[in-house]
Amino acid sequence: MLNLREIDLSDALREKGIDKINNPWIKVDRRNYKLELYNDNILIKTYKVVFGKNNSLVKTSAYDYVTPIGDYQICSIDTNSKYHKFLKINYPNEKDAAEALKQGYISEEQCKEILNALKRNECPPSNTRLGSNIGIHGIGKYDFIFKNLPFTFNWTNGSIAVSNKNIDEIYSVIKIGTPVKIIY
């Protein structure tokens, strides 16, 4: 994650001629290990990220360590996480739940629980095989080690990790409901 030429978010905004991010959204590119922060259609800043230990394209279990692919939203924000800050996404979404039901990974009742939580704009329940504790977070107390590794080391349980400094920047401009698009 070492990037000595990385500029602060405030400098990135100045370079774009923007005073404030009013309509943030996040695009995460698993193939290229980056998180892009946008304001409407304007790319504001790109961050280096790492992912789950398992590089599979399909998440089928809370314990498979795969970072999911799809369209999500920030559904919860924890500023006192062991990973510094944790911006939880609403995984599993409707598409994830429908596919898991079709594949027999979850029951019809669990699918309904997930869909009902999503309709109420809540984070999905964690008591299904899919789990739900996926998000964008910092590194926590090991930040000084991991943030300077010159290579990509996927170590999370499926979440997206950035340095503590970078999660602070992202946290400063997002809110509950901020869209998060994860692609490969």
Residue 105 lies in a domain: no
Residue 66 lies in a domain: yes
Residue 72 lies in a domain: yes
Residue 78 lies in a domain: yes
**pLDDT value of residue 6:** 82
Q: What strands, in cross-sheet order, belong to the sheet with 42-48? A: 42-48, 34-39, 24-29, 179-183, 70-81, 84-89, 135-137, 160-161
Residue 74 lies in a domain: yes
Does residue 17 carry a pLDDT above 90? yes
**pLDDT value of residue 148:** 67
**pLDDT value of residue 30:** 96
Question: 103-160 pLDDT, tens per residue?
Answer: 999 999 999 999 999 999 999 999 999 999 999 999 988 787 776 666 678 889 999 9
pTM of the predicted protein model = 0.92
If you search the block for the tokens 């922060």, which residue do you land on?
Answer: 37
Beta-strand runs (E) in the chain = 24-29, 34-39, 42-48, 70-81, 84-89, 135-137, 160-161, 179-183
Place 2 in a pLDDT band, splitting at 50, 70 and 90: very low
Question: 25-56 pLDDT, tens per residue?
Answer: 999 999 999 999 999 999 999 999 999 999 89
| Contact criterion met (CB below 8 Å) for 18 and 172 | no
How many domains does the chain divide into? Answer: 1
Residue 87 lies in a domain: yes
Domain, as residue range, for 62: 51-91+134-177
CATH classification at residue 69 = 2.40.440.10
